[in-house]
Amino acid sequence: MPVFFITADQIQNGTATITGPLCDHLSASLRLRVGETIWLGDEHRQRYLIKTTHLDRRLVTGQIINQLAGPAPTHPAVILGQALLKGERMDWVIQKATELGMAFLLPIVTSHAIVRPKTERHHAQQERWQKIALEASQQSERWEVPEIAAPCDATAFFEAQSSASCRLILSERSEGLSLATVALPSKLNERVVMAIGPEGGWTQEELDQALTQGFLPVSLGKRILRAETATLAALSVIQSRLGELG
């Protein structure tokens, strides 16, 4: 069963209180009934099994009958720098990368990007992507929801990640190291940053900027993959090597 996310302040004295869009989803779409149980999760990696005690279109309340603490993280977080993709491809990448366990996604506006959202649309687009990540987290029963940042340009992205212990950039047709064998960190306070380019690939200037900031070129092999396929292939390889898959 999916785990629905709330905030910790919605739990008071053994009772969960749900309002807003989640309330409407539970009552109208899922047709939840009084006496039925659902799982809720909060930002502190706590999970609650509640038995519904009241339900209408504006309010759902439930009594907590079980509580679980999430397991402590055992591997470094994976940060995904994803070049903006056209149409539903970006939505699909965010959904699937969330299921695969990414911790944070930063959308990158690159020189070869087909889509270039206007600055005034960044906040609305970010909220939409965050909702996709929320729904994917609930469906895949994650203990937390990854954060989706507002779009930024490639230069700003590379500079912002200069303190990460492992910075990788996927570069097609390059002599980069294999992603299957490149050294990865193992400490929890470290992070793996993986940058994935657009359909048209990185420009030489963008690659030079990445190298200047300490990014290491890596490859998935000789086969040329679509941008969205490359993202999930790369993330799967990293997560498997870190022990999150397999």
Domain final residue pick, 31, 51, 69: 69
Same domain, 63 and 107: no
Q: Distance between CA atoms of 234 and 60, rounded to whole angstroms? A: 41
Domain final residue pick, 51, 69, 87: 69
Beta-carbon contacts of residue 84 (< 8 Å; ≥ 6 apart): 90, 107, 108, 109, 110, 113, 114, 115, 116, 117, 151, 198
Same domain, 84 and 198: yes
pLDDT of residue 205: 94
Same domain, 39 and 56: yes
3-state SS assignment for residue 101: coil
pLDDT of residue 174: 65
pLDDT of residue 104: 96
pLDDT in tens, 129-188: 999 999 999 999 999 999 999 999 999 999 999 889 899 999 876 677 899 999 999 888
Same domain, 174 and 219: yes
Q: Are 124 and 79 in contact (CB under 8 A)?
A: no
Show the domain range for 45: 3-69
Going by C-alpha positions, the residue among 165, 226, 230 that lies closest to residue 195 is: 230
Same domain, 96 and 207: yes
pLDDT of residue 179: 92
Same domain, 54 and 142: no
Q: Distance between CA atoms of 58 and 66, rounded to whole angstroms? A: 25
Same domain, 104 and 195: yes
For residue 55, give the CATH number of its domain.
2.40.240.20
CA 207 to chain centre: 24
Q: Are 185 and 166 in contact (CB under 8 A)?
A: yes
Same domain, 94 and 59: no
Phi, psi of 68 (to 5 degrees): -125, 145
pLDDT of residue 173: 66
Same domain, 140 and 216: yes
For residue 215, give the CATH number of its domain.
3.40.1280.10
3-state SS assignment for residue 73: coil
Same domain, 120 and 150: yes
Same domain, 51 and 84: no
Q: Are 130 and 216 in contact (CB under 8 A)?
A: no
Q: Distance between CA atoms of 110 and 165, rounded to whole angstroms? A: 24
pLDDT of residue 246: 67
Same domain, 62 and 116: no
Domain final residue pick, 69, 89, 115: 69
State the distance between the two ends of the chain, measured CA to CA, in whole angstroms. 22
List the chain residues with pLDDT less than 50: none
Domain count, the chain: 2
